[in-house]
Structure 1
Amino acid sequence: MTMRCFTNWYYIPAGNYGKARGLLTYLQYRDDRDAHIPRAGGPERWVDCGLGSNWREILDNAAELENRRTNTLLRSLVIRPPQEDIARLEQVDPERWAERRELMHELVQQVMHAEMERRGIEWPGGRQPMDLPYSYVIHAPDDKNGVESLHAHVITPAMDRDGERPFNIYPKDVQLTRQVAERETERLFELERVRERQQEQEPGRDGLSDAKMPSPSLEIGFYDL
């Protein structure tokens, strides 16, 4: 079965501030292990959803919400849609292809919204989602075959905004995160239409047919935790 969207959770243990700094600066200044972004005059990297707009702010805020009980300084989520289907989008729907970064932003926000909803608490007035600050970057390097690998790195603290409730990740959460990401990827990028169009085309008709399409790379440029 084809993987509809790659996701995985990582974490950095409590007290490992040097490793956290290495991860955050890597995400801020690189698209992958080779593509360096100048420290001065580079593009805005982080989307601040409450945790910070640069690596220093993110590290400081994560340190404030460190969870010694679960030995967690911060968590990181990688989200990567299927790059072969996203690449085909350029021919099937050029307008949607041009909006792929905006769609990626919405994908991240929908996934994180689901994370907070799932950990909500029932109150007399209704369900209250977890208040979890986070920040993220979107990278889009080309893989070794020259195919763009659009993906996001999300950073969260180990506790909620008030430092009262832990943000834990269990095996069932890993699967639920992936299910949400797959569903939202299909909806936002309309990938079913991409696959239907691909089936209609004869092999070899264009450079993105099954016969010509480079194999997808699951080696996402990510700091080694």
Structure 2
Amino acid sequence: MNTAAAANALEVRGLAVHYGHVQAVRGIDFTLAQGSITALVGANGAGKSTTLQALSGLQPKAAGRVVFEGEDITRLPSHKIVARGIIQVPEGRAILATMTIRENLELGAYRLGGHGRPQDFDYVFHLFPRLRERMHGLAGNLSGGEQQMLAIGRALMAQPRLLLLDEPSMGLAPLVVREIFHALRTIHADGLTLLLVEQNVRQALRLAQYGYVLENGSMALSDTGQNLLQHPRVIQAYLGA
């Protein structure tokens, strides 16, 4: 593997996704540095979630190339992408409401052939103590914020190398959003690469080292998170005066 490939966790070139005759994503390029937090932001319908689904193999790619840690994974099916360590926290959380919190977490470790390592449970409970307190309760009884914590914890049980997060702040109160984003900072500080899709542009760009702005399926802007927060176009379109 060359030095440039080793420095990047993910390289995406010319990614296009179509829904019939509709071009949802139009030949976009972006790169995730190893160990970074990268934000993909934009308005509803810009193509953010579609991009994540294509990276995960859940949505067919019409064109483009995806390279993860030096390996071309463009045509791999979703289960083999997961086996490489790319784990997605889906929009809407998709927890299993009639199973306990612990059982949901155990399912996260399914790809590893067991019910989860004790140290992985400890890590999740360190991030989200409320999950430990309610470990044997039904996941469906959790609040929306607690369900988001569980969805992130379940993904971490799979020991990801790249974590894809789709709208983790959606529908949550500001205090809970701060708690979730604090956990993401901790996860990143522990060495994990994150790709964050968010409509909450301010919060996402504050967190991210680098950001990309999608508009109508095309890449409109890219820069450091701090620079994008001060970009006139971003301020006008997403942040207000």
Q: Give the TM-score normalised by the residue count of structure 1.
A: 0.29
TM-score (norm 2): 0.28
Which is greater in Rg? 1
